[in-house]
Structure 1
């Protein structure tokens, strides 16, 4: 192979490599492939939420409390208890376990009285990128609509939710699945800390 042809081949490989890099979407998991526990996870308690903690047949141990900025609540007998980061059902189970030191067979329910609105960053190929205030548990469609929708350059199958964790999760959606409420996309709920990125 002569020198000009070899140079041309090298340049072609470099360009192909660049295009391949641009086409890559990185590591992700489709929303329909989420672990069942993650997909079924309900609302996660956050600072600023108001909770109604009821201990069956124990009015003195029941209370309406607000989750403080440190993520804790204060309850009779138990004093300070971590609440932020748990679902109401998980928190109720933990309270039941701790109350066994004080009463026989405690039955605890935790209900959300009021939730604090969250702000979800919406970035990428979106008409009005920025923070969108929403109620916890909102799906993606109302947030995308509030941000003006996708740009003409957006790819409808490259909508991602970045969810914090260890490690963080990059959850991928198709616009068609969202608009038709298909599968897990139709029931997916945003949580505090989530970010939406449209490519």
Structure 2
């Protein structure tokens, strides 16, 4: 009886393993770097594994001439080839009198040949080396994090052909390119959907905070950071509130509309827009 119970336990455990294994395997596959079509170049680092021959496993860096050296074979041309193509080259050469039926795995672990371009409200904007499976937060961390003037959005300009010229693309010149908008508020709150994977030669722009301007009879006149949905009342409050001389009932908003300046008489609960100028006049009495 004891043996039967033990056998049942193993059968149930094995069945549960079989049920959950496919889902786990699928999740793992989705998380792998998308390197199948990536063409290797100088500076890239490759991890090469020869199954059942641990003494041949190694990490190599592609030299400036586009090659790397490997035991028995010597120099292997890697530039402009994918990892899959290099696997086939190694299998062919190692099979030529060295190993019987070698199984070879090649992975790109550092994309030093490919760069990304980061601009805007980060501490150290510029070009950065793309590492394997790099995501947006990791890149921003490399750049020293956000500045205090960071705005609400990040815009990623991505070339459909990988931007083979390896130069930054301005947002205004992005016709025909993929445009990805990231909500930085959600990103900093830990929303994984906003922490996108970076692609070779992405041009990434971190927006500056939008502003409004409050002038006249308030305690702290000047610029105020704009917040979506902000009302006239909230803007006056953020400027320290009105002075004893303020004529709150005669506030005016100066707004640019299609290049023309217009003046609006708002109610305290009306919403304002970025770059609005709130004028708080002095009371007549």
**TM-score (norm: length of structure 2):** 0.39
- Structure whose alpha-carbon radius of gyration is higher: 2
What are the within-5 Å matches in structure 2 for residues 55-70 of structure 1? 55-58=50-53, 64-70=59-65
Give the equivalent residue in structure 2 for 1:130.
Answer: 125
For structure 1, list consecutive stretches of 5 or more residues without a partner in the other structure: 1-38
For structure 2, list consecutive stretches of 5 or more residues without a partner in the other structure: 1-31, 168-175, 208-285
Cα distance in 2 for residues equivalent to 1:106 and 1:77 = 13
- Cα shift at 1:187: 4.8
What are the within-5 Å matches in structure 2 for residues 1-199 of structure 1? 41-42=34-35, 45-58=40-53, 64-86=59-81, 88-102=83-97, 103-110=99-106, 116=112, 120-123=116-119, 125-126=120-121, 130-133=125-128, 136=131, 137-144=133-140, 146=143, 148=146, 156=153, 158-162=155-159, 163-165=162-164, 170-176=177-183, 179=187, 180-182=191-193, 186-191=195-200, 193-197=201-205
Number of residue pairs matched?
A: 155
Maintained 8 Å contact 2:118/2:128: no
Q: Closer, same or farther in 2 for the Cα pair 1:70/1:91, shift >3 Å? A: same
Greater percentage in helix: 1
Secondary structure at the aligned position of 1:105 is classed as coil
Cα distance in 2 for residues equivalent to 1:171 and 1:198 = 17
- Cα shift at 1:73: 0.7
Cα distance in 2 for residues equivalent to 1:119 and 1:144 = 14
Secondary structure at the aligned position of 2:192 is classed as coil
